[in-house]
Amino acid sequence: MEKGEDKLWRVLEFYSGIGGMRYSLMKAGVNAEVVEAFDINDTANDVYEQNFGHRPHQKCGFYPPLANLTHDKTSDTHEKMISMLRDISFNTQEFILSPLQFGVPYSRPRYFCLAKRKPLSFRKAQVNSYLGAPGPVLWSDENMVTSEGVELNGYWEKLLENCRPIEDFLDLKNCVSDAEESKEGKRPFNNHLKQYYVPSALIERWGSAMDIVFPESRRCCCFTKSYFRYVKGTGSLLATVPGMVKDQISSLQDLSLRYFTPREVANLHSFPEDFKFPPHVSLRQRYALLGNSLSVGVVAQLLCYLFADETL
């Protein structure tokens, strides 16, 4: 990012995808101008253009310095990146963050690195060159834990107490008729949601490997780009029959399991309500693009912290 004389932060957006970073800048209230966006995925660029009226540049020869690592701070690539930033006078702060830490019932821990070139400094300078995970109150000293502490089950269990239930993120306007039909003992198939219900054959074959959540649950698994194509290890499935509790389940077939819709996945990624896919983007493409996207809620908090002592 480059700060211009007009007090705007001039942004180059690499790997722009479906606009997660741009939405994060907006949510954080950063006074920014996206000078150019870059992405090689033509379909992602269609989505970006649909929502922002600007098509990203497709010829991009840049490669990300790190994969989606979580708790690994020992890779050669990581060490080279941090060393390079220090050599050119950048302070760095590193974090393991998940939407769960911000009240969103979505488990998606990711590594993030912030860098400020001297003489700019971070508000919490004492955690420079530190890899950790803030607790429920972001950036408070008493809630900072080490990367080893993140591994403890008690840490994540405590976070779940502050998470909103999954039902707050459901596409309720399309679920009302489902609930009504379920009360009458019918399988909830309305026109909108019919395509999202898991076939009985898949439940019989893969039921033991499925991660099943309920509307009142406060955690669901990360949705990958293969969600909806496969049911094993790609994301949680939602039990849609009301009044059922896990101890009363005699068969998974009783739960009327369905996939989360793309709109619901976008909600868990904290994308705004006005985010839309172009009509020609297929259902599988929508899931793939969302699976590769970032959490707007998490990145917006990082941006707020990054610019805390600067002019927004």
Positions marked active-site = 60
Residue with tokens 């001297």: 118
- Dig out the tokens for 234 from the structure: 């790609």
107 neighbors 70 (Cβ within 8 angstroms): no
Q: What single string gives the DSSP state of each residue in 22-74?
A: HHHHHHHT--EEEEEEE-S-HHHHHHHHHHHS-PPB-------SS-S-SS---
Query: Three-class SS of residue 3?
Result: strand
147 neighbors 73 (Cβ within 8 angstroms): yes
Nearest to 193 by CA among 236, 257, 144, 131: 257
Query: Three-class SS of residue 167?
Result: helix
- Dig out the tokens for 76 from the structure: 């050669």
